[in-house]
Structure 1
Amino acid sequence: MDTYIVLKRFSSLEEAQECHKLLSEKGVTTRLADNVPPVDITFSGNTVGYQYEVQIDPANFANAESILEEQEMQSLPLVEDDHYLYQFSDEELLEILQKPDEWNKLDYALAREILLKRGKEMDQEKLDLLKQKRLMQLRESEPQQKYWVIFGYISAFIGGLLGIAIGYMLFSSKKSLPNGERIFSYSDHDRKHGTNIFYIGLFVFTISVLIKMLWGL
């Protein structure tokens, strides 16, 4: 069974290769993958471009994160004073610290550095608390998939393969959290409907195929 999870996504192959090389040199086994957006993201309306992934074993997640953070910290002295983050307000910089998964690690480290220079110290305990609150937010299920549930039932009852696909998407789709944890994307309510849609669609499709086969005899 494949247990690798996504550590980081990149829009360019060069960036993904650099990350892969860095981690490999530090003894972390990784692999590169080029994937289109997962079906659950597309169906929920949040489409993104073609991405390259650096994937690792979940057991190495904390070590890999530490290596990447150390790499970005070493880059801080090279950042010019005209970096765009210097134009951010304290509130905007704090938002970066509150949502590290939406920013790269250099921006995260620089935001903390700028706040420190402005007399807004953020110790590790406060940062850890912010990360925990963010994880709680991300653990929340996607909004109720009312329209996909209705469309899924309709597709399933008319015997279309689309109904089977929608059902499977609803009950099986997962998302990765910043700490490497994998959880189901949709609520138990939607996942239950997804299971029903999947089996109804499978049953109707099978029956329709059998009828066509018998009719052709």
Structure 2
Amino acid sequence: MSQETFLTYQKFNDQAAASELAQFFGENGLAYELEDSSINFDVSFAYSELNKEFRVKLRSTDFKRADELLQELSQKSIELADESHYLYQFSDEELMGILQKPDEWNAFDIVLAQHILQERGKEVSKEALAQLRSERLSYLREPEQASRFWIFAGYFCAILGGGLGMFIGWHLIYHKRTLPNGESVFAYTSNDRKDGNIIFVISIISVILVIAYKVLRHDS
């Protein structure tokens, strides 16, 4: 088992596309892991590509280099794009929206958006791009608020002594998400994580009490 920590860099529904990207990184000296995290059981019994998920994982320290490699590759492909590409129909504001949220777009679209803006006389400097990405990372670092339903469910299950309460509590406390730069941050707010701690502790106490009750009942 690898001692290095690999984080998800990009997700795909298509295995061939994921393998192609992983191979590209490998050819450029980046260590990677290709993980099949597909849903193995479909309750609808209907095959769907949406149930397929393949993750290309990299070391967090290699995220920046991976971005640079994809940007270089996209720069070489720009000459193949013409005005039939859908981004040419975007307004300047919509193109800027791509640059403001690069994590929601692929590397080619980002580079093409810059190219189109430049053609329209609205070039975005490297300093401005760096600022936009910094602002985006600051936004993404903000933890989200957990669903009140799941917190209520966590307390309910914890009191009943179920393992589900323990799982919900653990998830609220420790779940993290990976930012586009490879940084890992807690997903939920400090208040939600406090609720997670309480749920987890109550769950453990409840499980112990249930086991103790069953043991005493059996002995009697």
Q: TM-score, normalised by structure 2?
A: 0.89
Is the contact made by 2:61 and 2:182 (CA closer than 8 Å) also made in structure 1? no
1:69 positional shift: 1.4
Q: TM-score, normalised by structure 1?
A: 0.90
Q: Counterpart in 1 of 2:106? A: 104
Query: What aligned pairs does 1:154-173 form with structure 2 within 5 A after superposition?
Result: 154-173=156-175
The answer as to 2:180 corresponding to 1:178 is yes
In structure 1, C-alpha distance between the alignment counterparts of 2:27 and 2:198, rounded to whole Å:
47
Q: Counterpart in 2 of 1:23? A: 25
Match among 33, 55, 58 for residue 56 of structure 1? 58
Q: Partner amino acid for 1:152?
A: G
1:160 positional shift: 1.4
In structure 1, C-alpha distance between the alignment counterparts of 2:51 and 2:90, rounded to whole Å:
27
The answer as to 2:117 corresponding to 1:115 is yes
Q: Counterpart in 2 of 1:9? A: 11
Indicate the SS of the match to 2:10.
Answer: strand
In structure 2, C-alpha distance between the alignment counterparts of 1:84 and 1:177, rounded to whole Å:
27
Q: Partner amino acid for 1:181?
A: E
In structure 2, C-alpha distance between the alignment counterparts of 1:199 and 1:159, rounded to whole Å:
11
Is the contact made by 1:36 and 1:49 (CA closer than 8 Å) also made in structure 2? yes
1:64 positional shift: 1.7
1:4 positional shift: 1.1
Q: Counterpart in 1 of 2:212? A: 210
User: Where in structure 2 are there 5+ consecutive unaligned residues?
Assistant: 40-49
Matched residues, percent identical?
39
User: Where in structure 1 are there 5+ consecutive unaligned residues?
Assistant: 38-47
Q: Partner amino acid for 1:9?
A: K
In structure 2, C-alpha distance between the alignment counterparts of 1:170 and 1:186, rounded to whole Å:
7
